[in-house]
Amino acid sequence: MRNRNAFDRLFAYFRQVGPPTTQDLVAGVTVAVVALPLAIAFGLASGATAAAGLYAAIFGGFFASFFGGSRVNITGPTGAMAVVLMDITARHGLEGMMLAGLMAGIMQIALGYAKAGRLIKFLPHCLIVGFTSGIAVVIFQSQIGTFLLAPVVGLAAGGAMMLARLLWPKSPAALIGLFAGIVANALIGGPTVEGVPRTLPVPGLIWPSFDMFTASFGAAVTICLLGSIEGLLSATVADNMMGTRHNSNKELIGQGVGNLVSAMFGGVPVTGAVARTGVAVRSGARTPWTGMIHSVILLLVVLFLAPLAKYVPLSALAGILMVTAIWMVEWEGIKLIPKAPAHYRAVLLVTLALTVLADLTIAVGIGFGLAMLLFTLRLTKQPLKEPDLIISDQGRPIHAENVVIHAVNGPLFFGVAEDLLERFEACPQKDVLVLDMRRVPLIDATGAIMLHKLATRLKSSGGRLVVFGLDNEAKALLRALSTQDGKDPYIVIDRAEELVPAIAS
């Protein structure tokens, strides 16, 4: 019965996606050609092996596409992930890195089921620019040593790659750079890639000791964080290019399954690759078949062309990665620095510096905290002012000695509540204080408590607080406070016509 249900779900999936088209096949082959040298290079850059990079693109890429929530999102080893894995491998070894990838996959699946995919929207643009550009710097500097093993070979590969991008923008620039590096290496000589097998690994699970589990947990959180951010960004890029909309929670589950399966087959952790996804879409990709076909093509390469890996020069891969790092820099965001507000520059530069000098987890945590702090400080500067549209009595503006009308602009939240309370209390005592709240998009519990305190103090001195234009959620908060202490010191009105009776009451 279980098998039948599994097959029913499988057939339902293929009915929903539809059969692969010629465009999917062409795009899958094209992106596999682009991914081949990058999978090898990022596998080595992660502190693992070329085989680990290929296995990640094959198994992680296939299952991420199958279970994901994006029409097109090519998943595999990436430069950003390689930077994180380099440090994890150095600290915990290959087994610890694989365990961290497996744990990260489980975390991503849990996040997907918890519907946490929408949280990516809360990352400010300057933060993303900062850590992406910082990762590019780390990739570039990490490859300098390998590049210098045979600098002419590295220059040939990197130069050919840049020339290909300039002259033929849609060409597989990384593959052209690799061929140029192979030719240069044949003439000059230099170290080449080793350890690419012709067979596939037997899947298995890592059974860690308690000490190994606790040591790898922090690394797993880092991989989960980066993989989720980069994977959802890549899906968003595909949406922008295709005019589609991905399911972020399902995409998190797909990325998690990809990491889980990649670790079981000895691959490095994976995530959505923005550049490869862009290549796939430009090549005609429109369904998840493209990602699965790309993985199958790489599988065939491992099975039938693995012996050719001995001709791939390490310095050529370093040159390819250094050029990739230059292209990874968010130049559009960097160009905004001279003209952007101070808070944008501060978050971007702090995040970039910490990514290079510390690590990604610290950089994102501090960068996000700084962004929220600066945003809160900016909100606290929202002034009180007279309403642009004075609340009136049948078209006649209200002017009375015992009435003061203020408009509150912007969110009324914990960062501004006490300051506004002090400002209201400093005003001359009047019988009625009217607050026009039509331009307040949000009131949190602290803001509601502030209104309640203000109304209570006014009532104790013989005055009244009239609140106009609250939304239903804010009204519910005020009702809850009144019920709690048994007081109802304010008057809430919804229409301007109710103001005069409220004042007179």
pLDDT digits (tens, 9 = 90+) for 319-335: 988 998 888 888 888 88
Residue 379 has pLDDT above 80, yes or no: no
pLDDT, position 2: 52
Residue 279 has pLDDT above 70, yes or no: yes
Residue range 359-372, pLDDT digits in tens? 777 888 899 899 88
Average pLDDT over every residue of 435-454: 82
Average pLDDT over every residue of 42-69: 93
Residue 290 has pLDDT above 90, yes or no: yes
Distance (Å, rounded) from C-alpha 376 to C-alpha 371? Answer: 9
Token pair in block for residue 41: 């290079």
pLDDT, position 425: 67
Q: Pick the closest to residue 138 from 204, 84, 94, 198 (CA basis).
A: 84
**Alpha helix ranges (H) inside 265-358:** 274-282, 289-305, 314-328, 331-335, 342-357
Residue 395 has pLDDT above 50, yes or no: no
Q: What are the residue boundaries of the structural domains of the chain, listed by start?
A: 24-375, 384-504
Residue range 154-165, pLDDT digits in tens? 999 999 999 998
Please name the amino acid found at residue 196. V
Do the Cβ atoms of 66 and 223 come closer than 8 Å? no
Residue 58, phi then psi, degrees to nearest 5 = -75, -60
Average pLDDT over every residue of 429-453: 80
pLDDT, position 166: 92
DSSP 148: T
Distance (Å, rounded) from C-alpha 404 to C-alpha 382? Answer: 19
- The most confident of 89-98, 231-240, 394-403, by mean pLDDT: 89-98
Straight-line distance from the first to the last Cα atom of the chain, in angstroms, rounded to the nearest whole number: 72
What is the separation of C-alpha 495 from the centre of its chain, rounded to a whole number of angstroms? 43
Which letter, b or e, does each residue of 307-344 get, where b requires 16 or more Cβ atoms within 10 Å of its Cβ? eebeebbbbbbbbbbbbbbeebbbeebeebeeebeebb
- The most confident of 364-368, 429-433, 453-457, by mean pLDDT: 364-368
Pick the CATH number of 384-504 from 3.40.50.980, 2.60.40.1260, 3.20.20.80, 3.30.750.24: 3.30.750.24
pLDDT, position 393: 47
122 three-class SS: helix
Q: Phi/psi zone of residue 452: left (φ > 0), alpha (ψ -120 to 50 degrees), beta?
A: alpha
Which letter, b or e, does each residue of 245-276 get, where b requires 16 or more Cβ atoms within 10 Å of its Cβ? ebebbbbbbbbbbbbbbbbbbbbbbbbbbbbb
Do the Cβ atoms of 135 and 83 come closer than 8 Å? yes
Which of 108 and 428 is assigned the larger pLDDT? 108
Residue 398 has pLDDT above 70, yes or no: no
pLDDT, position 389: 44
Q: Phi/psi zone of residue 128: left (φ > 0), alpha (ψ -120 to 50 degrees), beta?
A: alpha
